[in-house]
Structure 1
């Protein structure tokens, strides 16, 4: 059961970096470095903006899985409508705020006029898909909560597949350049959202439809708001930790900074695989909590833990063995290659040090123990800051990688130390 849930979503997540490579390749073929830099800045801004709304996916998965575990189809539909309305509302707000967001992004990055113009072109088109992109978060969270990983994979394939094909057709064949890449993303997100809505709504039974009053009832809305708030805080702290790593890395010079950027791809690739198992944990633990069935919770936790560490070990071993060849494929600079090879072992083990953190995130999201997840993230960030203060002055970039590994490891440890007590509290009424 664990792999049947994890594998489809892992395959779906893997299409995301392919999408970025295609967009970069299309604009790169224009031979205009300003356009390529503008694309990089625009894509980074959207990663930051849309990534901040990942709580729409996570909270919907946890609440849907619990309703599914209770066999409460009426509540499932209520969760979906509250999630989709929240997503569309946030998307419209992004559209209204887009001029301010673009201005803030350009001020933060400080590009020259030509690059800023390219960024503005890309941003102004892609932001049109804001409501659809956030709706896709809610739809994906809902189907994952129901254990429909194959539908999740289908929707990710539709979104990214259309995006890739149109990026090539519009950007290269029709010579639209960066505008074509932006329109490809906009169309892909929109068609994906429409397809997702069609699939989900067709599965609903009219007899289970909630009333408007039930959808906007105070208690479930407050629960959704609290869950989203806690996950948002957790996400911001996580983004802050990696931003701080990049900021400190700049003090070691351009070569070390570039080497760190190359090695961060290893952490990113590890996260795609581990996120699939985290999604499995969300669904399994969410259903167990909804059904108030402690044995299912314990069994799911055990199985996902075994698979997570097994897969993390394989990934880390692969990077240790093949890492130098991968680095050579990612950069042609001899200096950057040499520096990246020096710090390779630190990046290779991030899968192992982060395995428990990814898994526990899934468990706590599925069980909707969001305040614990938020608090343990803040505790881990304090450990991270202390590690930076101690080890960076002593070991420079080695100390920086040591600190990020300690951050990942402490997140998992702090969360796992809370699991038993929290589970005892949650399942007590059923015993």
Structure 2
């Protein structure tokens, strides 16, 4: 059986159909990932107590720095793999498989060990309250040591995505979510292990997902496994892997840090503002799952065609993606504006008051700009796909830095409306930057 018949050769066929087929499992996976991230907190809140629930929240903020770096690095690796797959260079694909897996696992293990060793000083620096300090530290030390398993799972998701096998990653993630929930109930609700039980449930679920990912690859896609002859440094490919992984890892980490800085500005405004912003970020996280999935789909199809050397089809991929996800952005903008009162009331549990009014106003302002979020994701996917990951990093860091600085400057005068408006203006800026580089590339 040929390679293209077993997997998804995106260098042939209808581009719009390919994009839709790629993006649907990615959207489902993003939504499942959000569920995965909230399972621990949900169970701990009901069976362990408020202190341990708060510890999960603090620990989650710390863990996200590590997870965003690992997942971001895998975006760059996915682009490299897709380019090699599009070029039909299986030997180089296997070389990249070994280099990325080995180097990423070693680096994530080192990061996990150092992070676990430095948990105490880190939590002290974050001014973690004494009543949750011990719980937070215990959770983080356990989960950080499982960072290699998390990387391996994210790596194989990237590999499956590069060859168009997103359904495999989605199925494994669904198993991990169910397993995590079952183990949380067993360890926390029945055995009374508290936050430690939640941590072990996460570790076991991540380890099982990593094992299942490798097992699926060996069973269904053995031609993509590296061989003995592929084991080696392959220095030119190693340097390219390090560049792509570092840049995309920095991009995701920088975006997360910028969002934390905006959250800090909101926190200074009191409980009502915090509640409103928490509700709106949860709503936006759902909507953003569509745009983020569009970026991944665009990067994959672009990278395969770029690797195949078909630059006219690369241009077609960009145009089709811009049209498809531009329409999706318009639909989401309208939906966000029309449902602002209902979704705010659902998340806040009230339909009046300062928090509700701030949340509704925020959503209605940001809704006017949401199409630019989606077109921006098309640009990001395009530049990642053609290997210009530094352009994506430049645009992302510029707009999130500006948003964070200006939010601190104007939030006291204009409240959450300032954050919403600056979010939209940030998207205007990043679309302008990427449009300029796109025009220059042409």
1:263–1:347 Cα contact (<8 Å) kept: no
What 5-or-longer segments of structure 1 have no aligned partner? 425-431
Match of 2:370 in 1: 351
Tell whether the 8 Å contact from 1:252 to 1:397 is kept in structure 2 after alignment: no
Q: Distance in 2 between matches of 1:145 and 1:231?
A: 16
Partner of 2:213: 196
Alpha-carbon offset, residue 18 of structure 1: 1.7
CA distance in 2: counterparts of 1:330 and 1:385, whole angstroms = 25
Provide the C-alpha distance between the structure 2 equivalents of 1:176 and 1:208, rounded to a whole number of angstroms. Answer: 41
Instruction: Map 1:404-415 to 2 at 5 A.
Output: 404-415=423-434
Q: CA deviation at 1:285?
A: 0.5
- Work out the CA distance in 1 between the residues paired with 2:112 and 2:307: 36
Q: Tell me the TM-score normalized by structure 1.
A: 0.91
Q: What's the offset of the Cα at 1:173?
A: 2.9
1:290 aligns with 2:307: yes
Pick which of 184-193 and 116-125 moved more: 116-125
Q: How does 1:289-328 map to 2 (within 5 A)?
A: 289-328=306-345
Q: Deviations over 1:151-185 (max 9, x none)?
A: 12122222222212222232223332222221111
Q: Tell me, what secondary structure is at the counterpart of 1:53? A: helix
Distance in 2 separating the partners of 1:327 and 1:381: 25
CA–CA separation in structure 1 for the residues paired with 2:279 and 2:331 = 20
| Count of residue pairs brought into register by the alignment | 422
The offset of 1:382, in angstroms, is 5.9
Residue 29 of structure 1 aligns to a residue in which SS?
A: helix
Any residues of structure 2 matched to 1:101-180 within 5 Å, and which? 101-180=118-197
Q: What is the aligned partner in structure 2 of residue 421 from structure 1? A: 440
What is the rounded CA distance, in whole Å, between the counterparts of 1:252 and 1:392 in structure 2? 8
- SS of structure 2 residue aligned to 1:52: helix
2:389 to 352, 359, 370: 370
TM-score (norm. length: structure 2): 0.89
Q: Deviations over 1:121-166 (max 9, x none)?
A: 2112222321100111211111101111111212222222221222
Instruction: Name the structure 2 match of 1:428.
Output: none
Cα deviations across residues 88-121 of structure 1 (Å, max 9, x unaligned)? Answer: 1122102321334422431233222231111122
Distance 2:246 2:316 in 1: 29
CA distance in 2, matches of 1:216, 1:208: 13
Stretch of structure 1 that moved more, 86-95 or 279-288 = 86-95
Hey, what's the Cα distance between the residues in 2 that align with 1:206 and 1:277?
A: 25
Q: Is the 8 A contact 2:184 2:198 kept in 1?
A: yes
SS at match of 1:404: helix
Q: Counterpart of 1:98 in 2: which secondary structure?
A: helix
Contact 1:56 1:141 in 2 (8 A): no
Q: Where in structure 2 are the equivalents of 1:379-394 lying within 5 Å?
A: 379-381=398-400, 383-384=402-403, 387-388=406-407, 392=411
1:209 is matched with 227
Deviation, structure 1 residue 62: 0.3
Matched, 1:89 2:106: yes
In structure 1, C-alpha distance between the alignment counterparts of 2:244 and 2:179, rounded to whole Å = 32
Q: Deviations over 1:28-63 (max 9, x none)?
A: 112621111011111221112211222331012100
Structure 2 CA distance for aligned equivalents of residues 5 and 105 of structure 1: 40
Displacement of 1:294? 1.6
Q: Does 1:99 align with 2:99?
A: no
Deviation at 1:348, TM superposition (A): 3.3
Q: Does residue 329 of structure 1 match 2:340?
A: no
**What pairs with 1:22-37 in structure 2 (closer than 5 Å)?**
22-30=39-47, 32-37=49-54
Deviation at 1:13, TM superposition (A): 1.1
| More displaced stretch, 402-411 vs 131-140 | 402-411
CA contact (8 A) 2:302 2:318 kept: yes
Q: Alpha-carbon deviation of 1:220?
A: 0.7
In the TM superposition, what is the alpha-carbon distance from 1:350 to its structure 2 partner? 5.4
Name the SS for the 1:4 alignment partner.
Answer: helix
What is the match of residue 9 of structure 2?
A: none
Does structure 1 retain, via aligned residues, the 8 Å contact 2:48–2:195? no
Q: Deviations over 1:374-428 (max 9, x none)?
A: 2333443565467547755763432222112211232223113212433x4xxxx
Aligned partner of 2:91 in structure 1 is 74
Helix, strand or coil for the counterpart of 2:273? helix
- Are 1:7 and 2:24 an aligned pair? yes
Contact residue 376 and residue 431 of structure 2 kept, 8 A: yes
Structure-2 separation of matches of 1:383 and 1:96: 34
Cross-structure match for 1:403: 422
